[in-house]
Amino acid sequence: MEGMTMRVQDEARLHAYHDGELSGFARWRFERNLRRSPGLQRELAELRSLSSLLHQQEAGGAPGVDLWDRIALGLPAADARRAEDREAPSVGRGAAWWLKPIGAVAATAAVAVAYLYPGASPTAPVSGNVVRWIDSGERGVVVLEDDPDSTIIWVMDDAVDGASIGGGSDLV
Amino acid sequence: MARRSEAEVTSYRTLGALALAVGWLFAGAAAAEEAEKIPVKVLVTHVSNEGTGVEPGGKGLHDNFRKHQIPFNSVRVIKKERVVMELDEVHRIPLPNGRKARIRPISRRENSVLMAVDVEGSVKVDARMRSQKPFIIRAGKHDGGNLVISLELDD
């Protein structure tokens, strides 16, 4: 019951903050909580997206380029968040994560820590340490993410049959 | 010289404490605002085997490729910038092949940011980025080589 009360209060503050109704100390406190809470950040981002859409519709015009950009970039984000929500903390998780099938499309090759996908499908998020969701359309993609110094996403130009990183026409 | 009354001294003390508290609050608010900013280093390069060498700004990228036995001997820096973004803000990166890449920070944790990246005509990816760990994406063929975008948190 107490949790529910807190939740209602949080939501009220979230809306007040979004509408610019918090000021002074209340605003500072909320921003401090916001900084510490990915869930709250997510809710605020969603509220802002929704608000933009509504304003656009009220104006009666077509959504602008920026709005489309945000919507387009927001769609994969929702999947990525779901992947993160489902996932336990990834301490000690190795490259073997990438051997998990990505929806209907499974990894076809694994060389060292490089994993080659025949066109990563957007149908399901992936849950690596770095890459949470990927869509390369029909193109194959090699993901090198198990390196402490960098993550490399190498997208092939064509079908992946026989393609491998370190050779083939995609490299030059 | 008249001595200040005890009440007067107490008032000064109270005012001093209040001033300190207000200062602390403003400092905290400023720090919170600063924490919402997400600085990102963006590097657009052309990598190939043209034999023209590695430009200084592309050395880190070349080292990362070499570590993975990806055989390039030339890295040319096309664009290098540092952008300070906010959550949910979209930044566009025009590419020399006429396409563009777009990035948007989705959420922030202590030392990482979940970033949506859309390289037009190539790949869309959501990735959790950290500082000191560049996120490198091939953005297609260009001018006899490859366009490569490197993104890195600059916290």
Q: What is the pLDDT of residues B81-124, one digit of tens each?
A: 999 999 989 999 999 999 999 999 999 887 899 999 999 988 99
B28, B33, B123 member nearest A141 (Cβ): B123
Write the DSSP symbol of residue A97.
G
The stretch A107-123 carries a mean pLDDT of 43
What's the CA gap between B54 and A89, in Å, rounded?
39
Beta bridge partners of B46: B76, B147
Cβ atoms < 10 Å from Cβ of A157: 15
Please list every residue in chain B whose beta carbon sits closer than 8 Å to the beta carbon of residue A74: 104, 116
- Phi then psi for A17, rounded to 5 degrees? -65, -45
* Range of weakest confidence among A34-43, A84-93, B84-93: A84-93
Please list every residue in chain A whose beta carbon sits closer than 8 Å to the beta carbon of residue B106: 42, 45, 77, 80-81
Position B151 scores a pLDDT of: 97
| Residue B73: band (very low, low, confident or very high) from pLDDT cuts 50, 70, 90 | very high
Q: What is the mean pLDDT of chain A?
A: 63
What's the CA gap between B124 and A108, in Å, rounded?
20
Write the DSSP symbol of residue B4.
P
| A123 burial type by CB count under 10 A (0-12 exposed, 13-18 middle, 19+ buried) | exposed
CB-based contacts of B69: which residues, under 8 Å, 6+ apart?
A166
Position A46 scores a pLDDT of: 80
Position B124 scores a pLDDT of: 92
Q: Which two tokens stand for residue B134?
A: 């560049």
Position B155 scores a pLDDT of: 79
pLDDT in tens, B23-68: 776 666 555 555 579 999 999 999 999 989 999 999 999 999 999 8
Complex ipTM:
0.78
CB-based contacts of A52: which residues, under 8 Å, 6+ apart?
A67, A70
Single pTM value for the model: 0.59
What's the CA gap between B84 and A43, in Å, rounded?
22
Q: Tell me if A80 and B69 make a contact (CB, 8 A cut-off).
A: no
Position A139 scores a pLDDT of: 84
3-state DSSP call for residue A13?
helix
Cβ atoms < 10 Å from Cβ of A131: 25
Position A91 scores a pLDDT of: 32
Q: What are the C-alpha distances in Å from B33 to residues A12, A29, A58, A172, B29?
A: 21, 12, 31, 44, 6
A27, A131, A136 member nearest B127 (Cβ): A131
What's the CA gap between A13 and A23, in Å, rounded?
11
pLDDT in tens, A145-156: 878 889 999 998
- Phi then psi for B51, rounded to 5 degrees? 80, 20
- Min CA distance, B118 vs chain A (Å)? 7
Residue type, A119: G
Contact in structure between B150 and B134 (CB atoms under 8 Å) = yes
Position A122 scores a pLDDT of: 46
Beta bridge partners of B137: A153, B149
Cβ atoms < 10 Å from Cβ of B28: 15
